[in-house]
């Protein structure tokens, strides 16, 4: 039996129970009300239906609460049982009291059907509900166990799938790590080769630069050596030229001094001759005039020394004052 069939049986039991309860309540009200009216003061006849209603309300409460407790799988203890049997016996007594007082056994039997049916139905429905609740609980437990088993199987399959997926991922991760490590090793080896090649190229470049620098320094030293030698040679040549120039100047000074001394001696010799007895030859006269001019003698004194006229001597002095005339240079050259 599945849950749908169980709920259908519960609805049928509940509907039948409430149908019996309602019919018994209606029959009880119709049966007990005249009895209560006969045993109640005429002024209170209108209260005759209250007692069967109260008793029947107690029956309804008992049936409803038993239904709820049965559904919940609980137990109300002794007092619900006492209330259930008390309301049932009260309904039975009230329904059969009038016939019993009249000593009508058939009436007692007829009026006892509804209360007895109500009592038995209440007990039976309670037993049915408890049995159904137990069956439902067992079915639910079985279904729960089956569900848990299926869920456990699903979890185990999922766990196995996850474990397999994890193993595959770990295997793939291991392969990927090995691949990356291999690629990293290749890259590292390539980098090491490139680094070694760059280092060798750098060392070769440094050796070439060092050789070039050494060659450049050697050429620079040779150039500096040649420059020093050239400067030294130039300095020596300049010193030699300076020395030759100084020697030449000294020699020229000595020669000039010797010429001046010789000219001074000649001039002194010419001037020391005294006044001429007559007119001397022109070349001698010119030499005497030149010596007199150099000695700073007057024109008249020079004229007396050479025997020529003052005018001619003045003309010769003018020539000496104006080198353009060239007389003095010629006289000195001819001397």
Q: Tens of pLDDT along 93-138? A: 777 777 777 777 887 787 777 777 777 776 777 676 667 767 777 7
The pLDDT value given to residue 328? 40
- What six digits make up the tokens of 247? 């020697």
* Structure tokens, 22: 């309602």
Please, which residues have CB within 8 angstroms of residue 35's CB and are 6 or more apart in sequence?
94, 97, 98
On the 0-12 / 13-18 / 19+ scale of CB atoms within 10 A, 228 is: exposed
The 10s digit of each residue's pLDDT in 69-88 is 666 666 666 776 777 777 77
| The 3-state secondary structure of the chain, one letter per residue | CCHHHHHHHHHHHHHHHHHHHHHHHHHHHHHHHHHHHHCCCHHHHHHCCHHHHHHHHHHHHHHHHHHHHHHHCCCCCHHHHHHHHHHHHHHHHHHHHHHHHCCCHHHHHHHHHHHHHHHHHHHHHHHHHHHHHHHHHHHHHHHHHHHHHHHHHHHHHHHHHHHHHHHHHHHHHHHHHHHHHHHHHHHHHHHHHHHHHHHHHHHHHHHHHHHHHHHHHHHHHHHHHHHHHHHHHHHHHHHHHHHHHHHHHHHHHHHHHHHHHHHHHHHHHHHCCCCCCCCCCHHHHHHHHHHHHHHCCCHHHHHHHHCCCHHHHHHHHHHHHCHHHCHHHHHHHHC
Residue 200 has pLDDT above 60, yes or no: yes
Q: What is the per-residue pLDDT across 279-324, written as a single tens digit (0 to 9) for each?
A: 777 777 777 777 777 777 778 777 777 777 788 888 888 887 776 5
Higher pLDDT, 147 or 335: 147
The pLDDT, as a whole number, for residue 53 is: 66
Q: Measure the CA–CA gap between 121 and 206, rounded to whole angstroms.
A: 117
The residue behind tokens 């029959």 is 27
Higher-confidence residue of 209 and 53: namely: 209
Distance CA 82, CA 88 (A): 10
Q: What is the pTM of this model?
A: 0.36
d(CA 83, CA 66): 11
pLDDT value, residue 162: 86
């Amino acid at each position: 039996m599945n849950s749908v069939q169980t709920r259908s049986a519960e609805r049928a039991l509940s509907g039948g129970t409430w149908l019996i309860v309602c019919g018994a309540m209606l029959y009880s009200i119709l049966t007990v009300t005249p009895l209560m009216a006969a045993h109640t003061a005429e002024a209170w006849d209108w209260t005759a239906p209250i007692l069967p209603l109260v008793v029947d309300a107690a029956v309804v409460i008992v049936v409803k609460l038993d239904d709820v407790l049965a559904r919940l799988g609980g137990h109300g203890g002794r007092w619900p049982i006492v209330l259930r049997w008390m309301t049932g016996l009260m309904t039975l007594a009230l329904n059969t009291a009038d016939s019993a007082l009249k000593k009508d056994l058939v009436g007692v039997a007829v009026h006892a059907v509804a209360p007895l049916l109500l009592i038995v139905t209440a007990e039976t429905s309670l037993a049915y509900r408890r049995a159904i609740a137990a069956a439902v609980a067992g079915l639910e437990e079985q279904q729960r166990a089956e569900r848990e088993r299926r869920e456990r199987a699903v979890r185990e399959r999922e766990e196995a799938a996850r474990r397999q997926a994890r193993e595959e991922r770990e295997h793939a991760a291991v392969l990927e790590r090995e691949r990356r490590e291999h690629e990293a090793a290749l890259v590292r080896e390539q980098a090491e080769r490139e680094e070694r090649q760059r280092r060798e190229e750098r060392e070769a470049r440094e050796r070439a630069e060092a050789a070039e620098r050494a060659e450049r320094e050697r050429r620079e030293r040779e150039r500096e050596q040649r420059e020093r030698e050239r400067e030294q040679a130039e300095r020596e040549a300049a010193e030699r030229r300076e020395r030759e120039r100084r020697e030449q100047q000294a020699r020229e000074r000595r020669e000039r001094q010797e010429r001046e001394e010789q000219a001074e001696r000649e001039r002194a010799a010419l001037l020391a001759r005294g006044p001429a007895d007559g007119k001397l030859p022109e070349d001698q006269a010119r030499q005497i005039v030149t010596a007199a001019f150099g000695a700073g003698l007057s024109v008249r004194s020079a004229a007396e020394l050479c025997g020529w006229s003052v005018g001619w001597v003045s003309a010769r002095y003018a020539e000496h004052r104006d080198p353009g005339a060239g007389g003095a240079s010629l006289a000195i050259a001819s001397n």
